[in-house]
């Protein structure tokens, strides 16, 4: 078949392929230059949305010399509108128009445009930054918190930058309701914020209502959130407040274990927070709850030592005893417990100072027996530590082997 007699549709296919190739090539070039050289991108494709947005952002930028000139602002607005026509679903051009409105002093129009931008481009940080600042200046924490939450979710490393703001919100009761509502949704920055507030917040009394609100939300406060706050209250002498907050978090099945010593029979697995048992790891000793035929029945505490030097003071509980006279009692058993000094239960004020007293030492091989101590909590001793320790005076006296069992610990007030 000669060229003159080729079917016309073949020429149409060839033209279509050439046109498609041209479109792909120009689109690729426009995509390549959209951010680095938007003018060049627009030469290849005049309706490229990313290049149009880049030109709008460049012309509408507020720099050190101030807002854009009137001519630049008008061109920026035109580029932003063209970008919207090219991609109506993109919210970022609305942000550029919002910046231009804000530069003109039209705050209400700017707020509407930024809100639309954040809604259509939820990961656009400049829009959320502007709205966060806008609502905080107007004392509207409920409107500001969603933007703060979004920024911390999409860019977690902003947390350090926001620390002063977060601390200010934690200490501002008018912001607590909005802050608690946001935290109740368990954002990924929640625990870090609560630890920050506990450690660096200036006014514990001002922050207390926020923690109380969170305690009453479904799920309450997690151990890693509650612990630093309770420690803060105790350091400031608010032991009673800390105890009530901690006790209010306990599940119903553990309320029966409340007393001057909590969970004195070791029936419940300790949560090392607040006024529960705290077991710390130390080389040469193993601390565990085991079933036993002991004085308390079901479960007891066993500490097993590996016949080496151990600076042992790694079982303890914080108490909240008011001033007065008390008697401490514990059931104890020694199983080939080899030590020069023995193990003792010691009571001391959280603030430090001379110990309030300690039990007779446990050592050797003994059946279950009662260790007892009468002691007095003086006024000003806000919070006490009950600690199982090896009272070694020199390193050589730290050597210990064998096992010790404890059960049914309790403290009763004396008349």
Tens of pLDDT, residues 354-392: 999 999 999 999 999 999 999 999 999 999 999 999 999
| Confidence at residue 82, expressed as pLDDT on a 0 to 100 scale | 87
More confident residue, 382 or 64: 382
More confident residue, 218 or 206: 206
pLDDT of residue 52: 78
Q: pTM value?
A: 0.77
- Answer with the residue of higher pLDDT: 31 or 402: 402
Q: Determine the 3-state secondary structure of 123 from DSSP.
A: coil
What is the mean predicted confidence (pLDDT) over 101-107?
A: 91
Asked if residue 293 lies in contact with residue 378, where contact means CB atoms within 8 angstroms, the answer is no
pLDDT tens, 213-256?
A: 998 888 889 999 999 999 999 989 899 999 999 998 888 888 88
Distance of CA 214 to the CA centre of its chain: 13
pLDDT bin (cut points 50, 70, 90) of residue 293 is: low
pLDDT-based confidence at residue 26 (cuts at 50, 70, 90): very low
Rounded to 10 deg, the angle between the 70-86 and 92-103 helix axes is 160
The sign of the torsion formed by the CA atoms of 82, 83, 88, 94 equals negative
Query: Can you give the pLDDT at residue 32?
Result: 44
The answer to whether residue 29 scores a pLDDT higher than 60 is: no
Q: pLDDT tens across 143-180, in order?
A: 999 999 999 999 999 999 999 999 999 999 999 999 99
Predicted pLDDT at 65: 65
DSSP state of 263: T
Pick the closest to residue 313 from 345, 349, 360 (CA basis).
Answer: 345
pLDDT computed for residue 48 by the predictor: 66
| Opening angle at CA 15, ends 13 and 19, nearest 5 | 115
Mean of the per-residue pLDDT values for the chain? Answer: 87
Q: Which pLDDT belongs to residue 298? A: 79
pLDDT digits (tens, 9 = 90+) for 304-360: 999 999 999 999 999 999 999 999 999 999 999 999 999 999 999 998 889 999 999
Q: What pLDDT was estimated at residue 58?
A: 78
Answer whether residue 414 shows pLDDT above 90: yes
Higher pLDDT among residues 69 and 263, named by residue: 263
Q: State how far the Cα of 141 lies from the Cα of 164, in Å rounded to an integer.
A: 15
Q: How far apart are CA 383 and CA 320, in angstroms?
A: 5
DSSP string, 59-82: HH--BTTBSPPHHHHHHHHHHHHH
Residues 346 and 365 sit within 8 Å (Cβ to Cβ): no
Share of the chain above pLDDT 70, in %: 86
């Amino acid at each position: 078949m000669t060229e003159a007699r080729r079917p016309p549709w073949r020429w149409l296919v060839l033209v279509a392929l050439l046109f498609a190739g041209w479109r792909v090539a120009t689109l690729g070039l426009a995509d390549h230059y959209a951010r680095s050289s938007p003018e060049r991108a627009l030469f290849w494709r005049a309706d490229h949305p990313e290049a149009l947005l880049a030109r709008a952002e460049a012309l509408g930028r507020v720099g050190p010399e101030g807002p854009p000139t009137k001519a630049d602002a008008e061109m920026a607005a035109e580029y932003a509108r063209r970008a919207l026509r090219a991609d109506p679903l993109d919210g970022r051009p609305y942000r550029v128009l919002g910046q231009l409105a804000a530069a003109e002093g039209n705050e209400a129009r700017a707020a509407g445009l930024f809100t639309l931008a954040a809604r259509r481009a939820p990961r656009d940080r400049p829009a959320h930054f502007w709205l966060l600042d806008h609502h905080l200046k107007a004392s509207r924490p409920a409107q500001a918190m969603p933007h703060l939450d979004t920024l911390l979710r999409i860019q977690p490393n902003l947390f350090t930058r926001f620390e002063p703001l977060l601390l200010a919100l934690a200490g501002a009761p008018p912001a607590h309701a909005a802050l608690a509502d946001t935290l109740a949704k368990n954002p990924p920055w929640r625990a870090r914020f609560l630890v920050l507030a506990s450690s660096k917040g200036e006014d514990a009394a001002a922050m207390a209502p926020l923690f109380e609100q969170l305690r009453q939300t479904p799920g309450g406060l997690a151990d890693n959130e509650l612990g630093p706050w309770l420690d803060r209250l105790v350091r400031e002498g608010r032991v009673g407040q800390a105890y009530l907050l901690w006790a209010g978090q306990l599940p119903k099945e553990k309320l029966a274990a409340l007393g001057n010593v909590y969970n004195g029979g070791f029936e419940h697995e300790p949560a090392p927070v607040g006024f529960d048992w705290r077991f710390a790891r130390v080389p040469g000793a193993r601390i565990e709850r085991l079933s036993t035929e002991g004085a308390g029945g079901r479960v007891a505490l066993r500490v097993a030592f590996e016949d080496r030097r151990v600076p042992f003071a790694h079982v303890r509980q914080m108490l909240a005893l008011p001033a007065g006279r008390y008697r401490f009692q514990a059931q104890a058993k020694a199983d080939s417990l080899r030590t020069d000094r023995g193990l003792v239960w010691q009571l001391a004020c959280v603030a430090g100072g001379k110990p309030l007293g300690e039990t007779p030492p446990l050592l050797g091989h003994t059946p279950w027996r009662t260790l007892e101590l009468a002691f007095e909590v003086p006024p000003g001793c806000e919070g006490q530590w009950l600690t199982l320790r090896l009272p070694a005076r020199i390193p050589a006296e730290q050597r210990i082997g064998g096992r010790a069992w404890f059960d049914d610990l309790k403290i009763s007030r004396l008349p």
